[in-house]
């Protein structure tokens, strides 16, 4: 009988081989991986080890299992949720408060915005501008549409750096601090202040003024941090629990 620890280690190694070989073969999102039988024969492992490897990849958002006779593991693009979950787990294990994640955003996101302003394409800049218009349109309407446009604004800026690590990092931190997750209210006055800040950031980026873009983003996050700390001190001091966030 194979020891559980050895089986788990074998599964990790197999999952790494699957990813590397799919990458080397030029496979991408939507592509079907070889059948279970072919992979068992190829890697000379048991079905249990292979299924554990595929479960690891599914948990990390690398594959999704397609049911049916022509189904199997299908590659997909991982989202930032896996990274967000890891951040929250580490935060909880270290008894770190929610405020620590906001502080991280205040440290990192203005720099990301500065890099984005210097590298953003015209097409991506237009997309960022569209989120500002969406926020205007939903200012007095659907709260969730406003918050979604708000998230897209920050996401697009981060991915405008052309650095995937910065994109995933900013996206994952934003997901944790998203008001719909941590339960902070978003009244009309806060929506107006957020829209005004986004307009200022967009204007600076549109002018390709990297230092001004950085300063505007720093002011935006700092102002919200002060608001949240004053209005929701208990939430900001509380440790984010892994089982209540995702």
**Cβ atoms within 10 Å of 33's Cβ, excluding its own:** 21
Structure confidence at residue 183 (pLDDT): 63
- Rounded to the nearest 5 percent, the helix, strand and coil shares of the chain are 70, 5, 25
CATH architecture under which domain 4-75 falls:
Orthogonal Bundle (1.10)
Quick one: 81-244 is in which CATH superfamily? GntR ligand-binding domain-like (1.20.120.530)
Q: Give me the residues paired with residue 97 across strands.
A: 239
Residue 40 tokens read as: 């068992």
Q: Give me the residues paired with residue 72 across strands.
A: 66
Each residue of 86-108: pLDDT tens digit? 888 999 999 999 999 999 999 99
Low-confidence ranges of the chain (pLDDT < 70): 1-7, 179-183, 244-246
Residue 87 tokens read as: 């951040």
Q: Pick left, alpha or beta for residue 68 (phi over 0 → left; psi -120 to 50 → alpha; otherwise beta).
A: left
Burial class (CB in 10 A: 0-12, 13-18, 19+), 63: buried
- Listed in sequence order, the DSSP H helices in the chain are 4-24, 36-43, 47-59, 81-93, 98-119, 122-137, 143-159, 164-177, 179-182, 188-206, 210-231, 233-237
Calculate the CA 61 to chain-centre distance: 12
Structure confidence at residue 219 (pLDDT): 98
Q: CA-CA distances (angstroms) from residue 170 to 27, 105, 161, 211, 225?
A: 27, 7, 11, 19, 16
Q: Which of 246, 245, 105, 102 is nearest to 166 (CA)?
A: 105
* Cα 150 to Cα 229: distance, rounded to the nearest angstrom: 20
Q: Are 156 and 196 in contact (CB under 8 A)?
A: no
* Cα 106 to Cα 152: distance, rounded to the nearest angstrom: 18
Structure confidence at residue 1 (pLDDT): 46
Each residue of 216-243: pLDDT tens digit? 999 999 999 999 999 999 989 998 888 7
Global confidence as pTM: 0.82
What are the sequence ranges of the domains in the chain?
A: 4-75, 81-244
Structure confidence at residue 176 (pLDDT): 84
């Amino acid at each position: 009988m194979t020891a559980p620890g050895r089986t788990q280690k074998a599964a990790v190694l197999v999952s790494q081989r699957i990813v590397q070989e799919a990458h080397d073969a030029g496979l991408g999102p939507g592509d079907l991986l070889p059948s279970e039988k072919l992979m068992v024969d190829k890697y000379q492992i048991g079905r249990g080890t292979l299924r554990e490897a595929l479960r690891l990849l599914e948990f990390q958002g690398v594959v999704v299992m397609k049911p049916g006779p022509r189904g199997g593991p299908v590659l997909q693009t991982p989202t930032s949720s896996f990274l967000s979950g890891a951040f929250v787990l580490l935060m909880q294990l270290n008894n770190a408060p929610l405020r620590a994640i906001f502080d991280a955003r205040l440290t990192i996101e203005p720099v990301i915005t500065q890099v984005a302003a210097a590298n953003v394409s015209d097409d991506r800049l237009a997309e960022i501008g569209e989120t500002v218009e969406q926020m205007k349109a939903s200012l007095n309407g659907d709260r969730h549409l406003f918050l979604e446009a708000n998230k897209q604004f920050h996401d697009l800026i981060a991915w405008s750096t052309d650095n995937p690590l910065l994109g995933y990092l900013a996206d994952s931190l934003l997901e944790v601090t998203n008001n719909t997750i941590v339960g902070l209210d978003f009244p009309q006055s806060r929506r107006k202040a957020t829209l005004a800040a986004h307009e200022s950031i967009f204007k600076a980026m549109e002018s390709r003024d990297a230092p001004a873009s950085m300063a505007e983003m720093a002011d935006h996050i700092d102002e919200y941090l002060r608001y949240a700390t004053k209005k929701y001190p208990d939430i900001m001091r509380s440790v984010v629990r892994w089982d209540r966030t995702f």
